[in-house]
């Protein structure tokens, strides 16, 4: 196809500037007042300038009419981030008592073209609030998320509509579908937590179910931080903390014994040790020595970019134990551990 051919296909009407439209003759455009020395002056196109000159005029006169509404369309088309225009558009909609279903259709188009923009989603939310009609919102957010499954604004809108209108029913299935598509989609994991957090108090049966669900996902991809974070998040809601669940404990020990050295597994084991130390329990496996060894192997081998962090965690754990112990015999051990934690002389890994 030739260039001229593709031009013929476009149905765009030619642009007529507002300053050339007879029906706007009665309005005096208001130029931008940047003063004598404009700073960060944007080289506006003639169209941008024309539309905004007339928008400023309308804002100033307070005109709330059909043509003013149309003008906000044009301004928002050129810059959908102009919150002043959106705010004024809402005033016009109210004043003219416009059909808000039409407005929903309009804003959907704007969202589809500008899905990463605060103002467009906020406008959508206000219109849905006015209408008290959430019936299109799950489908809309699903459509946007199908193109960008981590779009923060879409998730925010979806959570708002689910929370406000109690639309939790099929959400876990949706999340499950997304996680089947991409097991690493952290937004979907977060949504799973959101649903359970708002529909339950994490009773024991749900915690058990979620543990099995998450463990199955970790078995597939052991380096998936999203799943590990979710596992911890769920366990923290149980009455027993992260270390007391025998299924999780066994899972971690088996994974470790199989030779897996995912930094998230090792980090999780550090936290299990920490919990035991805090409880003063410290069994034969989850204790200070083990924690320091794990931190050390993370700092030196498995997670070197976080060496400062892991060394810090080791120092904290050692200090914490120090403050728990008073008798002389353990003091010697503690001092030994201290120096090991700070200069990293303990290199033995746990499987030896």
Q: In the range 257-296, which residues lie near other proteins by CB under 8 A? A: 267
Taking the complex as a whole, the smallest distance from the CB of residue 98 to other proteins amounts, in Å, to 17
State the residue for tokens 């897996």.
260
Determine whether 219 is an active site residue.
Answer: no
Give, as ranges, the residues between 122 and 151 that touch other proteins (CB under 8 A).
Answer: 122, 125-126, 149-150
Q: Dihedral (C-alpha) 72, 73, 78, 83: value to the nearest 10 degrees?
A: 50
Catalytic residue among 60, 94, 116, 219: 116
Binding mask 214-233 for other proteins (x = CB under 8 A): ------xxxxxxx--xx-xx
Element (H, E) at 339: helix 328-343
Taking the complex as a whole, the smallest distance from the CB of residue 8 to other proteins amounts, in Å, to 27
Binding of other proteins by 83 (CB under 8 A): yes
Which one, 9 or 40, has the nearer CB to other proteins? 40
Binding of other proteins by 101 (CB under 8 A): no
Q: State the Cα angle at 166 between 163 and 169, rounded to 5°.
A: 115
**Which residues neighbour 57 within 8 Å (Cβ) at sequence distance 6 or greater?**
27, 28, 29, 30
State the residue for tokens 């919150």.
83
Binding of other proteins by 98 (CB under 8 A): no
Buried b (16+ CB within 10 A) or exposed e, 67-98: ebbebbebbbebebebeebbebbbebbeeeee
Taking the complex as a whole, the smallest distance from the CB of residue 2 to other proteins amounts, in Å, to 29
Binding mask 35-74 for other proteins (x = CB under 8 A): x-xxxxxxxxx--x---x---x--x---------------
Instruction: Tell me which of 54, 194, 251, 256 binds other proteins, using CB under 8 A.
Output: 194
Separation of CA 174 from chain center = 17
Binding of other proteins by 190 (CB under 8 A): yes
Taking the complex as a whole, the smallest distance from the CB of residue 56 to other proteins amounts, in Å, to 6
Q: Considering only 128-136, 192-200, 242-250, 285-293, which stretch makes contact with other proteins by CB under 8 A? A: 192-200
Cα–Cα distance measured from residue 235 to residue 101, given in angstroms and rounded to the nearest whole number: 44
Size of the site for other proteins (CB under 8 A): 78
Give, as ranges, the residues between 291 and 330 that touch other proteins (CB under 8 A).
Answer: 303-309, 311-312, 315-316, 319
Give, as ranges, the residues between 17 and 36 that touch other proteins (CB under 8 A).
Answer: 30, 32-35
Cα–Cα distance measured from residue 15 to residue 74, given in angstroms and rounded to the nearest whole number: 11
Cα–Cα distance measured from residue 278 to residue 148, given in angstroms and rounded to the nearest whole number: 42
Closest CA to 235 of 209, 254, 207: 207
Point out the residues that are catalytic. 116
């Amino acid at each position: 196809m030739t260039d001229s051919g593709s031009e013929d296909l476009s149905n765009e009407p030619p642009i007529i500037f507002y300053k050339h439209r007879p029906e706007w003759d009665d309005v005096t455009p208001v130029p931008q007042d940047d003063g004598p020395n404009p700073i960060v002056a944007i080289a506006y196109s003639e169209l941008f300038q024309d539309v905004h000159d007339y928008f400023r005029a309308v804002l100033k006169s307070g005109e709330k009419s059909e043509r003013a509404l149309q003008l906000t369309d044009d301004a928002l088309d050129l810059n959908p981030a102009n919150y002043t225009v959106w705010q004024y558009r809402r005033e016009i909609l109210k004043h003219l008592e416009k059909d808000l279903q039409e407005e929903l259709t309009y804003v959907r188009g704007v969202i589809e073209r500008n899905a990463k923009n605060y103002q467009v989603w906020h406008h959508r939310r206000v219109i849905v609030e006015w209408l008290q009609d959430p019936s299109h919102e799950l489908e809309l957010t699903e459509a946007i998320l199908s193109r960008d499954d981590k779009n923060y604004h879409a998730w925010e809108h979806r959570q708002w509509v689910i929370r406000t209108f109690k639309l939790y029913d099929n959400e876990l299935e949706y999340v499950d579908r997304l996680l089947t598509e991409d097991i690493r989609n952290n937004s979907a994991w977060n949504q799973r937590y959101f649903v359970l957090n708002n529909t339950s108090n994490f009773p024991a049966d749900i915690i058990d179910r979620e543990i099995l669900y998450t463990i199955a996902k970790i078995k597939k991809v052991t380096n998936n931080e999203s799943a590990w974070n979710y596992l911890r998040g769920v366990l923290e809601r149980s009455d027993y903390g992260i270390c007391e669940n025998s299924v999780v404990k066994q899972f971690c020990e088996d994974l470790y014994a199989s030779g897996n050295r995912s930094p998230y597994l090792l980090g999780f084991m550090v936290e299990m040790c920490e919990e035991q130390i805090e409880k003063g329990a410290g069994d034969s496996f989850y204790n200070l020595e083990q924690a320091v060894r794990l931190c050390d192997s993370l700092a030196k081998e498995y997670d070197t970019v976080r060496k400062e962090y892991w060394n810090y965690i080791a120092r904290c754990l050692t200090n914490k134990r120090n403050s728990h112990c008073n008798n002389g015999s353990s003091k010697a051990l503690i001092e030994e551990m201290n120096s090991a934690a700070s200069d990293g002389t303990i290199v033995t890994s746990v499987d030896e």
